[in-house]
Amino acid sequence: MGFNNEGIEAAVARLRRKRSNIIIGGNIGKNKVTLNERAVNDYEICFEKLFPYVDYFAVNVSSPNTPGLRELQEKGPLTVVLKRLQELNSQKENRKPILLKIAPDLTNKQLDDIILIISETKIDGVIATNTTIDRSGLKVTKKIRLESIGNGGLSGQPIKEKSTEVIKYLSKESGQAFPIIGVGGIHSAKDAIEKLDAGATLVQVYTGFIYEGPAFVKKINKALLKR
């Protein structure tokens, strides 16, 4: 399915109608059919078209739903993409924050490369993490059942510990050199605090927001204020 949406023009048309001051992030990635060697062109197009309408960018190189996309997390291709986006950003009158959205399945060596790349490209931070391709956190273990569910990214509570460990590693090994947005398996205020204690500066909720409902955000904020 890749990034299942109607494309950049449809997104821009909707964002033009925005009348509130809600913070909007532009989650950008390459098209499913675009070869990785030309991926930087897709990121550039999305960046330029969304720039007037979003407050920050999430450079998504970690969605497991787009074949080959995660290969862009390797040092060489990732540096090319981020350097180009920073070049475009520096040409703007008012630059916007660029954050890198990474997978929870990276090795420590790959995370070390991420820290180095952020230092070199001077992007503004990391979103840790996207969904996982690992199925070991599921209660459903029968292979035939898992195959019937299909491939794709697994979100929610099964990735909670994975994402927290990535946050902890990045924060410690970088010496808290950049902001980290913690995401993955946050289903309670306690989970959100756990991410912050691990080194996150902010948190995002996706699956937890669906299951816990709109009041979930208020519960998290109340817990943070008490803290």
Active site residues: 63
In whole angstroms, give the CA distance from residue 162 to residue 186.
Answer: 12
What is the chain's Cα-based Rg?
A: 18
In whole angstroms, give the CA distance from residue 168 to residue 184.
Answer: 13
Q: Are 106 and 120 in contact (CB under 8 A)?
A: no
In whole angstroms, give the CA distance from residue 52 to residue 87.
Answer: 17
- Report which DSSP code applies to 101: E
In whole angstroms, give the CA distance from residue 170 to residue 108.
Answer: 9
Q: Are 30 and 69 in contact (CB under 8 A)?
A: yes
